[in-house]
Amino acid sequence: MSSTTPDAASIALEPPWLALPEEISAMLRPLMPGVVEAIIEAVPQLVPTYARPIEGRFGRGLRRGVAVALERFLQLPGTRLPALSEESRQLVAGLGSGEFRQGRSMDALLSAYRMGARVTFREMSRISMKQDLGLEVVVNLGESILAYIDELSAVSAEAYAYEQSERAGAVDRRRTELLELLLLGQADEAALRQAASMADWALPAQMTVVTLPLDRAAGLRRQLDPGSLLVERETDAVVLIPTRDTPTARRQLSKALRGRSAAVGPASGWERVPDSLRLAVLAATVFPPREGPDDPPIWADEHLAQVILGAEPTAITELAQRRLAPLDGLRPAQRERLVETLQSWLRHWGQRAPIAAELEIHPQTVGYRLLQLREAFGDDLENPQIRFELQLALQAGRR
């Protein structure tokens, strides 16, 4: 084969309109206004989304788009020009992004392109046959129209996807800003509602705050209500979930958070979101980590007493050292028995039978231990305030 002879691969890369005679453009151009009107008439009839009066801004935009697209096509026969010029590319891209802004899917525009291609081929092939240009020209014309429409579709789809991505990114940024406002608790209701509106998010009557380690947050957004807000911080992730505080909603959320070492704050209105987050964080620090794949989250509102006790560990330790000091001189085993008995005595209001049942000892042994406690603490056991402080210290596990 001669080095100057094009091979099959290079021929395949040539645009199909290169095979069309240049003079076909001059033959077709005078008839283009009629083709434009044929497309304008056919598309609304056959693509239901565009079944609206072709008038006003919509009608002008549609006519201009069809006219520019056809004029560009007539510039292509006999050339290696790309399908779209810069002007027509911008116009076609604008159609794609406009579809997204109008809230329509790309399906309608792609259907309109296909319908326009059919009408264009029908009209242009009829003219070509009337001018006796031959079957080969008609075939090449059809291939050129299909390739041209494919390019229009690709450019519009890319612009649609870009607009969609930009919108999603902007909404995500605004929702992150809104969540940070709620977590800080420094904005008034008017500012929050404005921020929520800009983030395309309705401020719910009640919401639930969840905190979890950052490395456990992967894929969580897909398992939650679409209206949930999630922000990733340096070491943790915080989620704000519009909530209905019902047993069913609670079970569903618990299932989504299973195995994620999550802590859930009490459901609250927007003004108490910072408090709910603080209680969730405290709950996560007070209880041992729940790191198993099936471990449920910690619900702070089910353990408020432990959360409160865990909020000031230094103070609780100091309180325990002070109130349990009367037992310091005892042997460790004896001290442990008396502490256990004291805790049961406080819990059962001094009733010996429940104490004996709980500790699995004889009632007489209970009596003996209570004598030892009264010798150690004296009249302090009759003081309600001291009994309360003893309960706090023992409940917190400070012995």
Q: What is the mean pLDDT of residues 338-363?
A: 92
Say what percent of the chain tops pLDDT 90. 29
In the 3-class helix/strand/coil scheme, how is 182-245 assigned residue by residue?
Answer: HHHCCCCHHHHHHHHHHCCCCCCCCEEEEEEEHHHCCCHHHHCCCCCEEEECCCEEEEEEECCC
Q: What is the mean pLDDT of residues 143-164?
A: 89
- The reported pLDDT for the residue numbered 334 is 93
Domain co-membership, 331 together with 238: no
Using the predicted structure, report yes or no on whether residue 35 has a pLDDT greater than 90.
no
Using the predicted structure, report yes or no on whether residue 360 has a pLDDT greater than 90.
yes
173 lies in some domain:
no
Domain co-membership, 39 together with 131: yes
Domain co-membership, 19 together with 161: yes
Domain co-membership, 222 together with 351: no
Q: What is the mean pLDDT of residues 177-201?
A: 83
Distance CA 379, CA 387 (A): 11
Using the predicted structure, report yes or no on whether residue 263 has a pLDDT greater than 90.
yes
Domain co-membership, 251 together with 347: no
CATH number at residue 276: 3.30.70.270
172 lies in some domain:
no
Domain co-membership, 238 together with 322: no
> What pLDDT, in 10s, does the model give residues 268-324?
888 899 999 999 998 888 888 788 888 999 999 888 877 877 777 777 788 888 899
Confidence bin at 222 (pLDDT 50/70/90): confident
CATH number at residue 340: 1.10.10.2840
Domain co-membership, 227 together with 269: yes
- The reported pLDDT for the residue numbered 257 is 93
> What pLDDT, in 10s, does the model give residues 130-148?
878 788 888 888 999 999 9
Domain co-membership, 307 together with 317: no
Distance CA 83, CA 147 (A): 8
Exposure b/e, 225-244, CB count within 10 A at least 16 = b:
beebbbbeeeebbbbbbbbe
Distances (CA, A) of 199 to 173, 178, 203, 219: 8, 7, 10, 22
Domain co-membership, 25 together with 104: yes
Backbone dihedral angles phi then psi of residue 213, each to the nearest 5 degrees: -60, 145
Q: How far, rounded to the nearest angstrom, does the alpha carbon of residue 307 sit from its chain's CA centroid? A: 30
> What pLDDT, in 10s, does the model give residues 40-70?
888 777 777 776 655 566 667 777 888 888 8
Domain co-membership, 238 together with 378: no
- The reported pLDDT for the residue numbered 147 is 93
- The reported pLDDT for the residue numbered 372 is 94
Looking at 268, 294, 311, the residue that finishes a domain is: 311
- Residue 175 neighbours by CB under 8 Å, 6+ apart: 199, 201, 229
Using the predicted structure, report yes or no on whether residue 185 has a pLDDT greater than 50.
yes
- Residue 38 neighbours by CB under 8 Å, 6+ apart: 119, 123
- The reported pLDDT for the residue numbered 399 is 57
Say what percent of the chain tops pLDDT 70. 93
Confidence bin at 8 (pLDDT 50/70/90): very low
Residue 103, SS3?
A: coil
- The reported pLDDT for the residue numbered 56 is 61
- The reported pLDDT for the residue numbered 58 is 60
Q: What is the mean pLDDT of residues 357-371?
A: 93
Looking at 287, 311, 335, the residue that finishes a domain is: 311
The count of domains in the chain is 3
Using the predicted structure, report yes or no on whether residue 102 has a pLDDT greater than 50.
yes
pTM over 0.75: no
Domain co-membership, 151 together with 107: yes
CATH number at residue 81: 1.10.490
> What pLDDT, in 10s, does the model give residues 9-30?
445 578 999 999 998 888 888 8
- The reported pLDDT for the residue numbered 234 is 78
> What pLDDT, in 10s, does the model give residues 245-261?
678 888 999 999 999 99
Looking at 119, 150, 166, the residue that finishes a domain is: 166
Q: Read off the amino acid at residue 179.
A: L
Domain of 360?
Answer: 313-395
Q: Is 154 or 392 the better-scoring residue by pLDDT?
A: 154
Domain co-membership, 162 together with 23: yes
- The reported pLDDT for the residue numbered 4 is 45
